[in-house]
Every structure is written in C-alpha cells, then in structure tokens.
Structure 1
Amino acid sequence: MRTVDAAGLPIGDDHPPRIMGVLNVSKESPYDPSVYDDPGEAAAYVDEELIGEGADIVDVGLESANKRFEVLTAEQELERLDTAVETIDSVSGDAVFSIETRYHEVAEAALDRGFDMVNDICGFADPEMPRVCEEHDAAVAKMASPPDLERPGAVEEVDDIYEALSLNGFTDKTIVDPAFGGWSEAKTLDHDRETFHRLREFRGYARPILVSINRKNFLRSIADRDTEGALPVSLAATSMAVERGAHVVRTHDVAETRDAALVGKAFARERVRRGGDVAVEELDVTTAGDARRHVDRVGGDPAVAEAAVTRVFEFDGLDPEELGALRAATAESGALCVANEGADAALLVGTPRSLVAAADAASGVTEALDAALASVDRPTE
C-alpha cells in the first residue's frame, strides 16, 4: 500500500486515519451547518468546528453535487472560487485544503491560489484532471464515476465500481473513493451496503481509500433515523470502515468521527511488517473477491484467488454416517475435517476450491447433509 503525501500530510497504512471536514460555499448544499457564503464566517467555522475539532483536511465545495440540482459549468464554479480562496486565506489553523470539483480548470485555478489538494467527484471524467494534479504535485481523491461530467458517482452496479476507479488512470498521489450515496436513481441502499461489505476489495489498487459515509441513507435506514439522528450509526460505520482499511473519512461531524476512526485504527490488523530491506505487507484478504483484486494487480492468474483464502465452518447435529462422509470427502479434496470420536459436530476447514471439492464428494449421503453443504460449498465472495 503506497503512502500519499498531501502537502506534507502522509496518508496510508502507517499513519493515523485522516479526517476530512466539509465546508460548502454553495447555497444549494443540503447540510446547513456546513454552508457559508461570507469568507469571514466561513473561516471562523473552519477554525473552530473543523480544524479545532481535529480535521486534517478541509474539503471546500463550490456547488452541490446532489443529482436534484442543475450542474454548474466550470465558469460558474470559478465565479465562486473567490469566496473559497478568501476563506482559506483567513483561516488561522493548519490543515490541508482540498477543492471539490469535476473540472480541471477549476482545480488548476484553486491549486494556483493556495489550495493543496483536489477532490474530483467525477473521477477523471475530465481527462485533463490528472495532468493538472501531477503538474502541481497535488494529492487527488478520485471518486468512482462514469465518463460523464454531469453524472458524478453514478455507477449503478457494485461490480462496476472497481473498474470505474481506473478511468483515465491514476496519478502517483491518487486516493480512491468508492462513491457511497444516492448518486443515481438506479443506485439503491442495498448497493451501498454491498459496497461497504466489500470495502477491502478496493485495497486491491494499493492506494489509500477515502470514504464519505457520514449520515448516509444506507446507514440511516438500518436504524430508522433521520439525518439529525444519524450520528451514532455514522460513527459505528466509521470504526468499521477504518478497521477494513479506509484511510480518510469525509464528515460534517469532525470531533466524533475522529474518535470513532481512532477506535477502528486501534483494532485493525497490523498490515505492514518490517523485514529488513525487503518490504512486507500482510494483505487484507478475507474473501476470494479480495484476493482476486490483488492477484489482478500483479498480473497473476485470477483462479489463484480461490486458493488464497481459508474458511472455517462448524457443522452440528451430524450422525455417524454424515461425519464419516465428511471425513472421507476431505481426505481427497485437500480440506480438513476436525472432530472428536463419537461427536455430532465437526469443523470443515479449507480454501473455497477445496470446499467445493469436499461438498461434491460428500453429496448424496443424506438430504440433511446435502442441504448443509449447499449453504457453504461456494464461499467465493
């Protein structure tokens, strides 16, 4: 996993989770506490509510990316840039300042006038964006999106998110964002939940991950909360996201999110090991899907992923014939069956590939065993 230097702020596995606070200078933005059009008031908010509460990065939005609103042109965004620049010039605290935009012209103007970083919500749909960021040696968060400047984040199938992130390549300082939220009519809450469940897969690009999950609908609906009451579910998800490998958390609730992120980091596995001159990283792989992303990255055979993960299942209520069938099947498949003599329970241990072979070999003994094996015979995702 590479570390990205964002204007002197290191982002990666070896470093604390970074908190990105949000400031909007757009009256369309739906979350009122973060919206300001007066530079002095905006700067006070940044100093007190964002940097003062632990934000490492301040992300400044010039327009709302909500699909309900008309998309501004680059020229219209540039008309609002003065307020953003005046704001960061008036801030006394220390932070990395990010400009949220989809246009390379706006990114270039912002970087020329004091911004440090870009948050590209259209994921390099503007093909000039990577060049601008590279020429300014700027970190850039790249959100998964189709190649359309008017449809940020509108990737409609979870399986397509990973590929969308590769649109127009990467810079050396790219941070990937899997685009949580209702960016299109076709995207459902279930899509967001599946994306969160598969968050480790996005480590397959070996680049830092940004998540924007604060008070999102897919979390609110779990606990039946409105936006105002959704902070607890956001904090629970923040800890889980960081434990699963996220490096930057974008939020309106800086102090609380910082604490939740630190808890997630404290209980995350130690991924980077020290092996002298040879770098060693334990890859965060829990499913064959996770493994497949890393295998693809190094140009390996995707079939290897089926042998890269070990799963453990406990079977209870086995009769002697069923237990004997499991033992015989695992002896031939490469899986393991662990059980005491006379027991009616057993552990079935193996790779997805060996478990499929064991299930095939043990089938046909009893309907009950067949049904049990059917529930675990292809644990590939």
Structure 2
Amino acid sequence: MQTVDAAGLSIGDDHPPRVMGVLNVSKESPYSPSVYDDPAEAAAYVDEELIGEGADIVDVGLESANKRLDVLSAEAELDRLDIAIETIESVSDDAVFSIETRYAEVAEAAIAGGFDMVNDICGFADPEMPEVCREYDVAVAKMASPPDLERPGAVEETDWAARKSPGWAESADYVDQVYESLKQNGLTEKTIVDPAFGGWSEAKTIEDDHATFERLREFRGFGRPILVSINRKNFLRTIADRSTEDALPVSLAATALAVERGAHIVRTHDVEETVDAAKIGSAFTERAFVTDDSVSVTELDARRATEVARHLETLGASADDSEAYVSRIFEVSGLAPEAVSDLAAVAESAGLTVTTGDGGVLVGGRPDALRAAADELAGRPAFEPLVEAVRTS
C-alpha cells in the first residue's frame, strides 16, 4: 500500500486514519451548519469546530454537489474561490486544506492561493486535472465518476458497452463499474481513491452503496489510500430507520467498520465523534505492514476471491487463481453421527480440511472446493443449511 504525502501529512496503512472536516462556501449546500460566506466566520468555524475537534484535513466546497442543482461553471467557482482563500489565510491552527472541485483551472488557482490538496468529485473528467496535481506535487482524492464534468458519480449511467465491451457491460455489477471508473484517466503518484458513496444519480440505489461498503476491501487493490464519505448517508440511515438528524450513531458505527476494512480518510461533518470512531476501527485492525530501504510487505486483508483478483490485476497477473489465496471455514453442529461421517468423506474428497469433535465439525478450504462439496451434498436434507451457507457466502 502506497503512502501518500499530503503537505506533510502521511496517509496510508502505516499511519493513523485521517479525518476530513467539511466547510462549504456554497449557499446551496444542504448541510447548513457547515455553510459560510463570511471569511472571518468561516475561519472561526474551521478553528473551533473542525481543527479544534481533531480534523487533519479541511475540505472546502465551492458548490453543492446535489444532483438536482445546476452545475456551476469554472468561472462561477472561481468567483467564490476568493472567500475560500481568505478563509484559510485567516485560520489560526494547522491543517491540510483541500479544495473540492471538478475543474483543473480552479484547482490550480486554489493551490496558488494556498490550498494543499485537491478533492476531484468528477474523477479526472477534466483531462488537465492530473497534470495540474502532478505539476504542483499535491495529493488528490479521485472520486469514481464518468468522464463527464456534469455528472459526478453517475457510474451506472455510463455507456459501458462502448467504453469497455458489450460482454463486460453485461456481466459487470455496480461495484465493478465503480472500480473501472476509478481506473479511467489514470492515477497520479499522490492519488487517493474514493468509491463515491451517496446519491450521486437518480439511477443509483441504496443497495448499490450497501454493495460498495460490503466490498470496500476490493478498493485496496489500487494500492492507494481510500477516502470514504459516509457521514449520515441514506444507505446507513435506512438500516436503523433514522432521520438525518438522528443518524450520527449509525455513521460512527460505519466509520469504525470502514477503517477496519481499509479506509484511510473519513470525510465528515461530525468531526469530534468521527475521530473517536476512527480510533476504535484502527485499534482493532490487524494488518501487517513492514518496510525497509528497499522492500515493503503489506498484508492484503483479502477475504474473498474478488478482493485477491483486484490485487492480481494491479500486478498485471492473471486473476484465474484468485481463489487459491482464500479460505473459508464453517462450523457445523447438530448432525447425526452417520451424517458427520458422510460430510467428512465428501469434504476430504473435495480437498477440504475437516475436523470432527464432540460438539460438531469444522470444514474449511478454498471457495471452489467448498462449492464442489456443496454441490455433492445438495438435495440431502441434513446438509441443506451447510449448502445454503456455502452458496451464499
């Protein structure tokens, strides 16, 4: 996993999770507590409510990314940039300042005005954006998006049959599309990937965000730090049936999970609480990272063949053997003695490891071997729970 340096702030596996607080100078933003159009008031908010509560990064938005609103032109964003620059000049405390924009010319003007980092919500749809970030040697968060400046995050509305192939478009699911979107237009040496949680298009569903969060480890396949923006998002609120105002607890639970699954930056409006949740996630993350002057070793934390396949793809290797790196273990109890013997025989013939004891049976091994055993056991009532567990895992 590559460590990214953002104006002296190290971001990666070998460093604490970073919290990105949000300041908006856009009157259209739906979260009014973070919206300011007076630089002095905005600076006080940053000092007290963001940096003062533990934010490592302050992300400044010039416009609302709400899909129902008109997209501002680069010229309109530049008109608002003066407020943002004056704000960060007035801030007393230290932080990394990130400009949220989709335009390379706005990013360049912001960097010239004192910003340290770019948060590109259109995923390098502006082809000049990577070059600007390279020229100024700044970190850049790249959100998954079509190559279209007016449709950030709408990856499922991309014409994938034309961009990839009809066969790929037919077989790809939503997370596949997100992953491919991040690959488009390349990555800089200081790119941080963002899988675009939230309602970025009318076509996107709650289930899409669920799938992305469930498969968050796959995005470690890029070998780059991961940014997540999950604060009070709909896909979390629906699980607990909470309003936006009452959704802080679900956001914090998801933050700890996201960090454990590989997130390095958490973007939030609730800084103090998110800092604590990220610390909990980090404290219970077991992922080895060792390096010396020439060699580095990173534990991949891959639980599924799809996660291994992403890393193999990054290495330029075939993903055909991805299942060889993954094993699953199931504990089965309540079987009659003769059924235990049958299970042991089938498991061993499939190449699985099986251990029996007074309290039950442990069966484990490669997913393909487990599926082969499940196929052989299918239709036999005693083994239906195991067959279903294997096929749905």
2:58–2:97: 8 Å Cα contact kept in structure 1? yes
Which residue pairs with 2:269 in the alignment?
Answer: 252
Match of 2:365 in 1: 350
Which of 243, 267, 270 is equivalent to 2:287?
A: 270
Residue 234 (1) aligns with residue 248 (2): no
CA deviation vs aligned residue, 1:99-127 (integer Å, no higher than 9, x gap):
00001111111111111100000001111
Match of 1:165, SS? helix
**Superimposed CA distance per residue, residues 155-181 of structure 1 (whole angstroms, 9 cap, x where no aligned partner):** 232221111111100000000000000
CA shift, 1:273, in A, is 3.1
CA distance in 1, matches of 2:244, 2:374: 46
The answer (yes or no) to whether the contact 2:332–2:386 under 8 Å persists in 1 is no
| Residues 52 and 104 (structure 1), Cα distance of their counterparts in 2 relative to 1, 3 Å cut | same
Q: Which amino acid aligns with 2:27?
A: K
Mind listing any 5+ residue stretches in structure 2 that lack a counterpart?
A: 157-173
The reply on whether 1:372 has 2:389 as its aligned counterpart is: no
* Deviates further, 137-146 or 290-299: 290-299
Letter matched to residue 347 of structure 1: L
Aligned position for 2:339:
322
Check the 8 A contact 1:57/1:97 in 2, yes or no: yes
CA-to-partner distance for each residue in 1:141-160, whole Å, 9 max, x for gaps? Answer: 00001111111111232221
Residue 226 of structure 1, CA deviation: 1.2
Q: Deviations over 1:193-234 (max 9, x none)?
A: 111111111001010000001111111112221111111111
User: Aligned-pair distance for 1:309?
Assistant: 0.9
> Secondary structure at 2:363's aligned position in 1?
strand
Partner in structure 2 of residue 35 of structure 1: 35
Deviates more, 1:98-107 or 1:222-231: 222-231
Residues 145, 338 of structure 1: alpha-carbon distance in 2 compared, 3 angstrom cutoff: same
Paired position in structure 2 for 1:171: 188
After the TM superposition, which residues 94-243 of structure 1 pair with which residues of structure 2 at under 5 Å, given as runs? 94-156=94-156, 157-243=174-260
Deviations 1:277-323 (A, max 9, x none): 53221111111111111111112221211111110112222223322
Aligned partner letter, 1:91:
V
CA distance in 1, matches of 2:361, 2:141: 47
CA deviations 1:254-274 (Å, max 9, x no partner) are 111111101111111132135
C-alpha contact 1:318 1:344 (8 A) present in aligned 2: no
Over 3 Å counting, the alpha-carbon distance change for 1:275 and 1:93 in structure 2 is: closer
Amino acid at match of 1:179: A
Separation in 2, partners of 1:261, 1:177? 17
Using the alignment, how far apart are the partners of 1:131 and 1:266 within structure 2? 37
1:258 is aligned with what amino acid?
V
**Aligned partner of 1:173: which letter?**
K
**TM-score, normalisation: structure 2:** 0.92
Runs of 5+ in structure 1 lacking a partner? none
Q: CA RMSD in A?
A: 1.6
Give secondary structure in 2 for the equivalent of 1:331: helix
Once residues 344 and 237 of structure 2 are traced to their aligned partners in structure 1, the CA distance between those partners, rounded to angstroms, is 46
Q: Is the 8 A contact 2:375 2:387 kept in 1?
A: no
1:359 maps to 374
Distance 2:279 2:72 in 1: 37
2-structure distance, mates of 1:38, 1:274 = 46
- Partner of residue 162, structure 2: none
- The offset of 1:338, in angstroms, is 1.2
1:336 aligns with 2:353: yes
Gap change, CA 1:275 and 1:73, over 3 Å in 2: closer
Which is worse superposed, 349-358 or 166-175?
A: 349-358
1:83-105 per-residue CA deviation (whole Å, 9 max, x = no partner) reads: 11111111111011100000111
| Deviation of the 1:344 alpha carbon | 7.3
Provide the C-alpha distance between the structure 1 equivalents of 2:391 and 2:204, rounded to a whole number of angstroms.
27
2:72 partner letter? L
Which one-letter code corresponds to 1:106 in the other structure? V
Instruction: Find the counterpart in structure 1 of residue 78 from structure 2.
Output: 78
Q: How many residues align?
A: 376
Write the letter of the residue equivalent to 1:27: K
In 2, the alpha carbon distance for the partners of 1:363 and 1:69 equals 53
Q: Does the Cα contact within 8 Å between 2:74 and 2:105 map onto a contact in 1?
A: yes
Distance 1:195 1:23 in 2: 26
What's the secondary structure of 1:228's corresponding residue? Answer: coil
| Contact in 1 for aligned 2:24/2:34 (Cα 8 Å) | yes
How many angstroms apart in 1 are the aligned matches of 2:145 and 2:305? 25
Matched, 1:282 2:299: yes
1:261 aligns with 2:274: no
Tell me how far apart the structure 2 counterparts of residues 349 and 187 of structure 1 sit (CA, whole Å): 36
Q: Is the 8 A contact 1:142 1:177 kept in 2?
A: yes
* CA distance 1:347–1:275, shift in 2 (3 Å): farther
Local SS of the residue matching 2:320: helix
Q: Secondary structure of the equivalent of 2:329?
A: strand
Contact in 2 for aligned 1:273/1:282 (Cα 8 Å):
no
Are 1:302 and 2:319 matched, yes or no?
A: yes
Cα distance in 1 between the residues matched to 2:138 and 2:291: 29
- Structure 2 CA distance for aligned equivalents of residues 190 and 333 of structure 1: 34
Kindly state the Cα deviation for residue 185 of structure 1 after the two structures are TM-superposed.
Answer: 1.0
